[in-house]
Structure 1
Amino acid sequence: MKIYSTENNRQQKVSIIVPVYNGEKYISRCINSISNQDYDNLQIIVVDDGSTDNTLAVLQKIHDDRIQIFSISNGGVSSARNFGLSKATGDYVMFADADDWLNPNVIGALVSAEQSYGYDMILGNYSRNTEFSKITDRISFKELTKDEAYRQIINPYGFYGSVWAKVFKMDIIKSNNLLFDKNISVGEDLLFVYQYLNLIKTVGYSDAELYNYCINNHSVLHTLDEQKIDQRLDILKVYEIILKQKNIKKQSYYNRLVAIYVRELTDWYCYAVHFKRNELSSLLKTKINKYWYTFIQDNTFTVKNKFAAFLKYHFPILAYNLKG
């Protein structure tokens, strides 16, 4: 295990991209958590994605010469992040969501680890706390194999495929013209991280809680309506893109990927039957059939989780009513 102090190697610039849409209630908390880091060489890019509230007015009250505020027409988070990348001039790039915030003193430690061992990427942990967490100025890191890194981001029990709590090298992004897929509105960050991971050699990991994720406690099952189904189905597109990768079946994480995909499929099949989307439910059922045996045999999910998927697959109306 390697330990790094935030006092080392401060010369490299870090660009932090923050897309925001109607974030007047929380954007200042996010930006202040970045501005108040003990690492000075920052480019803070805030992309207002067509907000209709007072987000811009709130941002203009924050005084920090390192902040660059851009206002664009509403195009979704992928477009906003891509715009931010087009303006980024840092050696490294990080992302933050407007309703989240960084813990103190983490950027210096991340840059130090990048420079000391030449990691092409660093994965960090996160918390779901509602208050600022205390992070010391010494954070431990370890090197992951590529296989371990893939398994870390393809994870059913966390948000490790998200772009936040990670550090990317800008030259790798730029030289490969890596962008977020504007046609995918759910899971676009997992696809970006996976594609970036395909391009690199070394990955560092810290289990320290570097980032605070503001979670919505309302279940999708309780808030989903028919109009949202097609948009949320984008997550299936992401898994399908990855499943089409060359030699994917030879990868150690293949069965895990399939298991997560099938669990998602059973969820959406349950919703499609409930909303009487017959064509969609038929398509989803065909996809479930293709991978069902792998899902049952794999140990990614508990017996309880598998039984829930079984109910959604074979008794979707009952399963929906039990959950709803």
Structure 2
Amino acid sequence: MSFLNKLFQKIPQIGQSPLISILVPCYNSRATLPATLKSIQASHYTNLDVMIVDDGHAVTVEDIVKEFNDPRFRYFYKNNEGLGLTRNFGIHNAKGEYIFFLDSDDLIFPDALGKLLAYAERHQLDCVSGVTVRRDFETGVESEWFRSLYKSPKISTFANRLSQFDDTLSTNKLYKVQMLKDLGIYFETGLYEDKLFTAKLYSKLERIGLIDTRVYVWLIYGSQTSITTTKSVSNFQGRMAAINNLWQYIPELRKAYQIAFYMNHDLLIYLREFVFYNEDEKEEIFQTAYHFIQQHKRYIYTRLVTASYNRACLDALIVGDKAKFMYTAQILSQIFQDELKIKQQV
């Protein structure tokens, strides 16, 4: 095959480029939306249908969208329904063959859409996923989200997909709109709707492409480290509800690793803040975690939980030893907070 023929296979033909819809949900987004829209305008792939959906906030972003004066941008205002149902609104109103979800406080890389689309078209895939970069807004420090899943381009199937359940993000993927509708893959209401959405996707779609390209910038803002936001007890309850809802979609062989991921990641997020909770909040965390562990006890393999304090907390949850759990969580939290203070002083 000639070089030109190979090139034409990789690059969509002029006049035949599929339309990609981008859904940008907004709620109190005036400060961050301009940078998000600028990252869209910087995209090398330009055949776009951009839906900016205001989810019922009193202070709208309509004037910001108008200032961009981009004919590809469509502005919508609707009653407040939350992030999940706003994304569903995007699925139903997309003009494109494909859809991409971009939060109004994040960014995309310039070559993201072109690379995702090229792989989807070349391999006739209904979904392609790329690398997410977590970037601290203030310091610029970056880390890649589950980079080990994206070492090289490949096609994930039911037979080799167990590890992909670690990547619960919906925003680093390009989807065929009709596929989502045909398979009934929509977002639910509530916190952590990504977890359930991607679990449905992984359990229903036979072939998913993975590319070793950085496609999405997940910006971490200072307020996101506050005890009053992502690490509140109500947020923990929302996370637990999402985990319980997605359990039915997780393959049996994956469930032991899911329990370990819960101890090593999900619960750990809140244990690190344990010193800041009051007694009622600590009790709520223990009871919620205890009932979850008891419900799924047969999937527990303690050797998968390697950190000593995490392991001690798991042991306490298994036998229902509240005093040991409280004591261990308090020590774990104090050590983490002391180390955090040292890092901040450097």
Is the TM value for this pair above 0.5?
yes
1:273–1:317 CA contact under 8 A, matched in 2: no
Q: What is the RMSD of the two structures over their aligned residues, measured on CA atoms?
A: 3.4
Q: If each structure's helix is expressed as a fraction of its own residues, which one has the higher value?
A: 2
Q: Secondary structure of 2:194's match?
A: helix
**Counterpart of 2:148?**
none
Q: Is the 8 A contact 1:6 1:108 kept in 2?
A: no
Secondary structure at 1:213 match in 2: strand
Question: Is contact 2:9-2:122 (8 Å) kept?
Answer: no
- 1:87-166 equivalence runs, <5 A: 87-129=93-135, 141-152=153-164, 154-155=165-166, 160-166=167-173
Q: Distance in 2 between matches of 1:54 and 1:71?
A: 8
Q: Equivalences for 1:64-83 in 2 at 5 Å?
A: 64-83=70-89
Q: Which amino acid is the alignment partner of residue 120 of structure 2?
A: E
Alpha-carbon offset, residue 303 of structure 1: 2.6
When Rg is computed on C-alpha atoms for both structures, the one with the higher figure is 2
- Higher RCO structure (Cα 8 Å, ≥6 apart): 1
1:208 lines up with 2:213 in the alignment: yes
Q: Alpha-carbon deviation of 1:146?
A: 2.9
8 Å CA contact 1:127–1:212 kept in 2: the answer is: yes
Letter matched to residue 173 of structure 1: L
Q: What is aligned with 1:284? A: 289
- Residues 72 and 6 of structure 1, relative CA distance in 2, 3 Å threshold: farther
Unpaired runs of 5+ residues, structure 1, are: 134-139
Q: Is the 8 A contact 1:6 1:105 kept in 2?
A: no
Is the Cα–Cα contact under 8 Å of residues 6 and 109 in structure 1 kept in the other structure?
no
Aligned equivalent of 2:90 = 84
Please tell me the residue identity of whatever aligns with 2:173.
K
Query: Which amino acid in the other structure matches residue 146 of structure 1?
Result: F
- For 1:178, the equivalent position in structure 2 comes to 185
Specify the code of the residue in structure 2 equivalent to 1:313: F
2:17 and 2:124 mapped to 1: Cα distance? 15
1:260 and 1:242, CA in 2 relative to 1: closer, same or farther beyond 3 A?
same
Shift of 1:87: 0.7
Distance 1:274 1:28, change over 3 A: same
Deviations 1:191-220 (A, max 9, x none): 111212222111111122111110135675
**Contact 1:39-1:108 within 8 A present in 2 as well:** yes
Can you give the 5+ residue segments of structure 2 that lack an aligned partner in the other structure? 1-5, 143-151, 317-323, 338-346
- Would you say 1:255 and 2:230 are equivalent positions? no
Measured in 1, the distance between the counterparts of 2:9 and 2:69 equals: 28
User: Aligned runs of 1:258-273 on 2, under 5 Å?
Assistant: 258-263=259-264, 264-265=266-267
Distance 1:5 1:104, change over 3 A: farther
- CA deviation map 1:110-164 (0-9, x unaligned): 1121111112211100223457x9xxxxxx7322233544422x32xxxx31111
